[in-house]
Amino acid sequence: MTDFPDRLLAGYRNFMNGRYSDESDRYRALAETGQKPHTLVIACCDSRSAPETIFDCGPGELFVVRNVANMVPPYEPDSQFHATSAALEYAVQVLKIRNIVVMGHGRCGGIQAALDPSTEPLSPGDFIGRWMSLVRPAAEQIQNNAFMTPAERQTALERVSIRNSIANLQTFPFVKNRGEEGGLSIHGAWFDISTGELWVMNSKGDFVRPDLDEPPIEAEQASA
């Protein structure tokens, strides 16, 4: 147990002198009244794809699950510890969030690992190998496609995986119920780290550039 990293303390000082200082009333109110986030984001752990940064969201807006490759496993009501399913249950049943966004991104290390059948387990426990087996069937088809470049196979599986997670979301009875009642909408998004482009999934499952032509609105005044 060593001293707390200097870099993080320096960043914390910036936060206190900057953002917290500007928004202390908001933080206090959020502490008093509790959080009421409008959206659950299931994002990747990747250090380049923080949802609060990409969506420029303030405290209280996004309830965020982050795991490797932003995946949702299928509904499995057994006696295990399910980190992602537990967060999903809490977000839908307690917080009554109105949107779920599964947000993937380019150059995802987890997806890359899933596409490489020669990868040795990273440790005897092979946690990544097992975790990424959630997209094994799709990965097997894509990895054998000799006509696509490696980058194309990677992007393809990143997007297939988002649709796979959305399909798994629908296997949770409480998600299905809330969706049918009209109080919950589910979305896919894919972020290009290099260009900063956001692609969103349309009703056919395709990823398209959203129309950003509307006059800019103030984030604070925007309705969710």
Does 126 bind a second copy (CB under 8 A)? Our answer is yes
Helix (H) or strand (E) holding 32: helix 21-33
CA torsion sign, 218 to 59 to 95 to 185?
positive
Residue 131 CA to residue 172 CA, distance in Å, equals 19
When the beta carbons of 81 and 181 are compared against a second copy, the nearer one is 81
Contacts for 62 with CB less than 8 Å, ≥ 6 apart: 37, 38, 39, 40, 41, 51, 52, 55
CB 99 within 8 A of CB 180: no
x-or-dash pattern for a second copy, window 68-87, by CB under 8 A?
x--x-x-xxx-xxxxxxxxx
99: left (phi over 0), alpha (psi -120 to 50) or beta: beta
List the one residue from 61, 114, 158, 190 that touches a second copy (CB under 8 A). Answer: 61
List the one residue from 96, 116, 117, 145 that touches a second copy (CB under 8 A). Answer: 145
Does 24 bind a second copy (CB under 8 A)? Our answer is yes
Residue 82 CA to residue 134 CA, distance in Å, equals 14
List the one residue from 96, 136, 148, 183 that touches a second copy (CB under 8 A). Answer: 148
Could you tell me the two tokens for 114? 């899933």
From 211, 71, 205, 50, select the one nearest 132 (Cα to Cα): 71
When the beta carbons of 31 and 117 are compared against a second copy, the nearer one is 31
Give the distance, in angstroms, between the CA of residue 92 and the centroid of all CA atoms in the same chain: 15
When the beta carbons of 62 and 104 are compared against a second copy, the nearer one is 62
> Under rule CB under 8 A, which residues in 152-211 are in contact with a second copy?
152, 156, 159-160, 163-164, 172-174, 185-187, 189, 192-196, 198, 200-206, 209-210
Least distance to a second copy, CB of residue 104, Å: 14
Residue 204 CA to residue 48 CA, distance in Å, equals 28
List the one residue from 4, 22, 180, 181 that touches a second copy (CB under 8 A). Answer: 4
> Under rule CB under 8 A, which residues in 84-123 are in contact with a second copy?
84-91, 93-95, 99, 101, 106-107, 109-110, 113, 122-123
Residues in binding contact with a second copy, number by CB under 8 A: 139
Least distance to a second copy, CB of residue 118, Å: 15
CB 30 within 8 A of CB 59: yes
x-or-dash pattern for a second copy, window 29-48, by CB under 8 A?
-xxx-xx-xxx-----xxxx
Does 143 bind a second copy (CB under 8 A)? Our answer is no
- DSSP state letter for 80: S
